Structure 1
Amino acid sequence: MKLKTITQLTLDGVTQGNGGSTEEDRTGGFERGGWARGAGDDTTRDHIAATFERADAFLFGRRTYDILFEFWGAMEDLKRHPIGVALNSKPKYVASRTLTGPEWENTRVLGDDLFAAVTELKASGDGELQVHGSSRLVQWLLDKDLVDEMELIVIPVVLGQGARLFADSGRDIAMNLVDSRSDSKGVMIQTYRPAGRPDYASF
């Protein structure tokens, strides 16, 4: 399967708290959550729903998995939404050393050898294995050269605080732009494919 990450982020690269600040966020001093709520027009919302529907399986970090389950897996009205239908009916894989006995149907917790597990998933067939949110997992997947495509949904706001998609230090990766669009509210959706290391010039 093709591994594709889908990430909502601000212009300054923040991914934390797109839907709102959790108690854990506020305890850590982050109080600017909810910056993606109401962002984008109908074309962007339709695109996001269609993306979930297109997935053959999902891969999440533990925190994103818990947040999604709280909404899409537990609220009856959201279960009937196209995103809820996709999340509830398709296989979900979780990268976690602490989750045992997951309540959400069709969930499998990956073992300690995450690299082997993800590599096996990618080799298991055609289709798309999607990673939504899960920024620390995305950083790890990039570092291990496991990402085939990245979709960045960029919300036109500068947050000034919060966890960012790209770590302060990590692998350097060149990216080829595959697709780019923007909506009437200034939300940009850009799709990239990793293309090895960048070329560096010298003076």
Structure 2
Amino acid sequence: MKLTTMTQVTLDGVMQGNGAASDDRRNGFERGGWARGAGDDETRTFITQTYQRADAFLFGRRTYELFAGSWGSIDQMRAHPIGVALNEAPKYVASTTLTAPRWEDTTVLRGDLAAAISELKAKPGG
């Protein structure tokens, strides 16, 4: 399986709290939601197509919980093409603390995460 990463980052290197104003306010971060509405149609199409091509998704625990609480549970978001892609594909979460994933078709990766991710990458698929 090919491992592709999608990262939203500002020109000055900020990756924190880009989705909603309440996202990840650790360490005094005050600018949550900085990416909302900032993209153009071409960018949104590219992001959507990237999600649609994926055979599976790999998350860290914080991102997984954020996505499970939105793309995985809000009907309007589940119906969006990105939500459809996320809900139809297997999800993997690298976590030592998540014990009961609430999003269907989720596998928690524990222990040697490098080995677990290597196994995923060895599988066929995109």
TM-score bracket for this pair, using the shorter chain length: over 0.9
The SS at the match of 1:48 is: helix
Q: Which residue matches 1:139?
A: none
Distance in 1, matches of 2:113 and 2:61, equals 13
Q: Which residue matches 1:40?
A: 39
Which has the higher Rg, Structure 1 or Structure 2?
A: 1
Q: TM-score, normalised by structure 2?
A: 0.94
Q: What is the CA distance between 1:21 and its match in structure 2? A: 3.7
Higher relative contact order (CA closer than 8 Å, sequence separation 6+) = 1
Distance in 2, matches of 1:124 and 1:92, equals 14
Q: TM-score, normalised by structure 1?
A: 0.60
Could you say which structure has the higher strand fraction?
A: 1
- Tell me if structure 1 keeps the 8 A contact 2:17–2:23: no
Distance in 1, matches of 2:117 and 2:46, equals 26
Q: What is the CA distance between 1:103 and its match in structure 2? A: 0.9
The SS at the match of 1:10 is: coil
Q: Which residue matches 2:84?
A: 85
Q: What is the CA distance between 1:126 and its match in structure 2? A: 2.6
Q: Which residue matches 2:50?
A: 51
Could you say which structure has the higher helix fraction?
A: 2
Q: Which residue matches 2:75?
A: 76
Q: Which residue matches 1:142?
A: none
Alignment of 1:50-199 (within 5 A): 50-127=49-126
Structure 1: which 5+ runs fail to align? 128-203
Q: What is the CA distance between 1:125 and its match in structure 2? A: 1.1
Tell me which amino acid in the other structure corresponds to 2:13.
G
Structure 2: which 5+ runs fail to align? none
Aligned residues: 126
Cα 1:23–1:85 change in 2 (3 A) is: closer
Q: What is the CA distance between 1:34 and its match in structure 2? A: 1.0
- Tell me if structure 2 keeps the 8 A contact 1:21–1:30: no
> Which portions of structure 1, spanning 4 or more consecutive aligned residues, are displaced by more than 6 angstroms?
none
Alignment of 1:11-26 (within 5 A): 11-22=11-22, 25=25
Q: What is the CA distance between 1:13 and its match in structure 2? A: 1.1
Distance in 1, matches of 2:22 and 2:65, equals 12
